[in-house]
Chains A and B, each alone.
Chain A
Amino acid sequence: MAEWGPHASFILLSYGAAGMILGYLIASSLLARRTAEARLKRLEAMLNAAQTLSGDA
């Protein structure tokens, strides 16, 4: 850090902010997919169970 001169804090803040924003994009994307697929699985299981009970299947 010392070798980055008098503006090292601005460099670190930039990389830190970029890392946080990109990290948020990665985390929110993974979470969105996980949540959506879990919901889909739950509903598919519910539908299958209901079809089995009513003899639709």
Chain B
Amino acid sequence: MKSILALANPANFSRLADRITAPLAFATILTFAYGLYGALVLAPADYQQGETVRIMFIHVPAAWLSLFVYAGMCLSALGTLVFRHPLADVAQKAAAPLGAGFTLVCLITGAFWGRPMWGTYWEWDARLTSVLILFLIYLGIMALWRAMDEPQRAGRAVAILTLVGAVNLPIIKFSVDWWSTLHQPASVFRMGGPTIDKSMLTPLLWMGLAYLLLYLVLLIIRMRAELATRRADRLEILIADRGHV
């Protein structure tokens, strides 16, 4: 808890970010390299899906991240509304485009997997539709940030929208259990453990770790950019007030 409070200071955060960004980026590259080698070379073809199963190694981690990023944004929203943490809305603003990107990867790779496996790129099935709604919520959040000039006001409005949108997360997760869907049920994060074979589970988890590390690196970079932008905005006002501009 103390370390989280210490990070509430943007200067402390920036110092920590300076120290960890490069090692984290290096770890991301290595993890992606090993994950892709596992996905494209080591993993065997599936007995039903054949080689098309290789799409799963980039599709499933993108789906995980699309939910993980949104869950993180919900925590940031609480940080903004309840604790007024000075970095919470910065983190939320930085995370939204990344969450949208991972969700888009999930939707597109899912479509390319669906065409040969289901015979269609798209089906208005509960899982696919709820993920599409998640993507639209991300876009709505990004649009709301752009629509308001004052960061604190925008942060509170976005936090409320984010928390309202959180109702979609359990719908996405349990849509395959609640409704009869074309999409297959969970095979990794489920009660009773994964049903997927270890030869495919291992590269899948490596790819999941690679996506997670990439997200953390990009989140830090975007948070630094946002902090610099806000400081520059304040300086611009100060200079204008003093009549220097």
B-contacting residues of A (Cβ < 8 Å)? 3-8, 10-11, 13-15, 17-18, 21-22, 24-26, 28-30, 32-33, 35-37, 39-40, 43-44, 46-47, 50
Contact = CB atoms under 8 A, between A and B. Distances in A.
Contacts of B235: 40, 43-44, 47
B115 interface: yes
6 contacts: A4-B51, A11-B51, A26-B218, A33-B221, A33-B225, A47-B244
Given A7-B116, A10-B113, 10 more contacts: A4-B54, A7-B51, A10-B55, A18-B58, A18-B108, A21-B108, A22-B214, A40-B231, A40-B232, A46-B245
Contact of A36 (B51, B105, B232): B232
Contacts of B113: 10, 14
A17 B238 CA distance: 44
A13 to B, nearest CB: 5
**A-side interface mostly:** helix
Contacts of A21: 101, 104-105, 108
B224 interface: yes
A50 B244 contact: yes
Provide the main secondary structure of the chain B interface. helix
A21 B110 CA distance: 14
Contacts of A26: 214, 218
Interface of B: 45, 50-52, 54-55, 58-59, 62, 97-98, 101, 104-105, 108-109, 112-113, 115-116, 214, 218, 221-222, 224-226, 228-229, 231-232, 235-236, 238-239, 242, 244-245
Given A18-B58, A18-B62, A47 B225 contact: no
A19 B45 CA distance: 22
B98 A11 contact: no
Contacts of B97: 25, 28
